[in-house]
């Protein structure tokens, strides 16, 4: 086993996911528990995660320095590397910020990687400016000299980048080298096992019924399918028509839960409730919490129409959890409506069969259980819908603009044959006005942003390099067809530093 010490990184869980891919048993622990857990578990190696703090701040997460004298190999990432360097006599300083893709140049190919120069993903404001005694440099970026280090004698490794990120080239190879060559772990890749999940659901639910929130998206569809396989007709899928979703969503949900999954689908018309609840609200966090509480209220009212309903099924996945402050030392990025937006006094018990999985794993589970490719490979859509794609107040007018602009983006991406090559694409009503000239007259109207990106697990992303003619077509159609729009801009920000959504 390898222990992962969680310093609060958004991608700590992703480190474990990569090791599970390799077949390595892992366990997450808090830094305060490190010595006790090492004595108890006797791991073959340790991995220090990244984290949002600075090592020189008061109250920053720390560890017992005895860990460095135990003879256990350590692989340290970002904050974890800075902390290890500081404990061993190095020096950490604020500066040389890097967020997103950078090129790493190897000075020594100690790990026998296929290339001397390759892309890595960075997300840091601090850096190690003085190496501890015994460390040598394996690789550097243009800004950060000490980006990849090793102490060969003690088997200590430090990286300023994130090898767990999908957009880091050879990241899995680096983790494999540490697990197999350094820690001597036997690598036996683990397969996803939907039957194990189904059995767990059946045991947990028993003869009770489950109200399952469905949206037509892959996460809620896979979750509902797994629940249905476990409890049969005791599954009650409920679609809430909030008016905030993408055009055609209700039709898709009806198709899924009458043709693909035979269930008694319940559709609750609630457009007026959502628009009234969002009236005058501009803060993104408040929007998410209002929407989350309203959804739960509707589900709990619907539960009263059925006997023996004890659970609310949701398609929560791990990226929702971690962005909503899913671990003790993590930062809250935003309250996902199905996690951080849940009310405290909820009566139904949560049932979230895909909570520990990432988007690509959920899709794979869907494929294994026989859900058609066009469903499992569809683009994700946020639970709060277009409410978080409208900066500022959600009015009927701006919602109509956003839905129309979004439909244009979708139509042109599909027409260009790029729909399945892009993880997600959408428009955003930016809340910013600019000057335009229409019909020789001055117009001062809203700017629409377009975002399209490539990703696998939502934890990192790269903006999609759309052909210019496609961007021109999208822009022309939006400024000509959507009322009160002055111009269109294209978002070319990676994650990190940006999140997928603007709110």
- CA separation, residue 30 to residues 53, 64, 158 (Å): 15, 12, 19
- CA separation, residue 486 to residues 131, 452, 471 (Å): 53, 20, 16
CB 119, CB 167: distance < 8 Å: yes
Cα–Cα distance, 400 to 412 (Å, whole number): 19
Phi-psi region of 48 (alpha: psi -120 to 50; beta: other; left: phi over 0): beta
CB 297, CB 211: distance < 8 Å: no
Cα–Cα distance, 137 to 147 (Å, whole number): 8
Cα–Cα distance, 87 to 48 (Å, whole number): 13
Instruction: Supply 245's token pair.
Output: 């979703």
How are strands ordered across the β-sheet holding 209-213? 266-269, 235-241, 209-213, 309-313, 349-351
H or E segment to which residue 106 belongs: strand 91-106
Instruction: Supply 203's token pair.
Output: 């045991």
Instruction: Supply 14's token pair.
Output: 């992703």
Nearest to 232 by CA among 218, 212, 215, 217: 212
Annotated catalytic residues are: 78, 162, 164
Instruction: Supply 352's token pair.
Output: 């979230």
The CB density around residue 474, as the number of other CB atoms within 10 Å, is: 26
Q: Across the strands, what pairs with 349?
A: 311
């Amino acid at each position: 086993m390898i222990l992962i010490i969680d310093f609060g990184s958004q991608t700590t869980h992703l480190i474990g996911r990569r090791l599970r891919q390799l077949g390595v048993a892992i366990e997450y622990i808090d830094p305060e528990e490190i010595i006790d857990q090492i004595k108890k578990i006797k791991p073959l190696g340790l991995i220090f995660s990244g984290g949002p703090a600075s090592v020189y701040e008061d109250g920053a997460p720390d560890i017992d320095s005895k860990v460095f004298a135990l003879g256990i190999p350590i692989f340290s990432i970002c904050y974890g590397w800075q902390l290890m360097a500081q404990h061993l006599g190095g020096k950490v300083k604020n500066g040389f910020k890097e967020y997103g893709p950078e090129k790493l140049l190897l000075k020594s190919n100690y790990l026998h990687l296929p290339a001397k120069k390759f892309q890595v993903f960075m997300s840091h404001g601090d850096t190690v400016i003085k190496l501890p005694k015994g460390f040598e440099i394996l690789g550097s970026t243009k800004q950060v000299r000490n980006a990849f280090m090793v102490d060969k004698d003690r088997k200590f490794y430090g990286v300023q980048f994130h090898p767990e990120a999908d957009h880091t080239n050879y990241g899995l190879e680096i983790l494999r080298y540490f697990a197999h060559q350094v820690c001597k772990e036997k690598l036996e890749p683990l397969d996803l096992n939907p039957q194990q999940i189904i059995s767990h659901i059946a045991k947990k639910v028993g003869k009770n019924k489950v109200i399952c929130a469905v949206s037509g998206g892959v996460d809620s569809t896979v979750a509902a399918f797994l629940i249905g396989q476990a409890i049969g007709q005791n599954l009650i899928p409920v679609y809430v028509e909030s008016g905030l979703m993408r055009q055609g969503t209700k039709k898709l949900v009806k198709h899924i839960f009458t043709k693909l999954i035979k269930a008694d689908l319940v559709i609750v018309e609630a457009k007026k409730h959502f628009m009234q609840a969002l009236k005058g609200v501009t803060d993104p966090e408040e929007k998410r919490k209002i929407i989350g509480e309203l959804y739960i209220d509707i589900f709990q009212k619907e539960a009263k129409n059925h006997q023996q309903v004890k659970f609310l099924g949701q398609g929560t996945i791990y990226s929702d959890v971690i962005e909503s402050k899913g671990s003790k030392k993590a930062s809250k990025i935003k309250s996902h409506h199905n996690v951080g937006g849940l009310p405290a006094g909820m009566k139904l018990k949560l049932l979230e069969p895909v909570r520990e999985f990432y988007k690509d794993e959920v899709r794979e589970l869907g494929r294994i259980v026989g859900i058609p490719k066009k469903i499992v490979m569809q683009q994700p859509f946020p639970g709060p819908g277009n409410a978080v794609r409208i900066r500022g107040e959600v009015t009927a007018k701006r919602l109509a603009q956003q839905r129309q602009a979004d439909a244009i983006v979708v139509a042109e991406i599909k027409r260009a044959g790029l729909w399945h090559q892009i993880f997600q694409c959408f428009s955003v009503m930016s809340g910013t006005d600019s000057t335009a000239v229409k019909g020789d007259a001055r117009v001062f109207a809203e700017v629409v942003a377009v975002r399209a990106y490539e990703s696998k697990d939502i934890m990192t992303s790269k903006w999609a390099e759309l052909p210019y003619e496609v961007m021109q077509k999208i822009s022309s159609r939006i400024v000509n067809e959507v009322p009160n729009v002055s111009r269109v801009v294209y978002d070319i920000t990676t994650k990190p530093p940006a999140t997928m959504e603007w709110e």
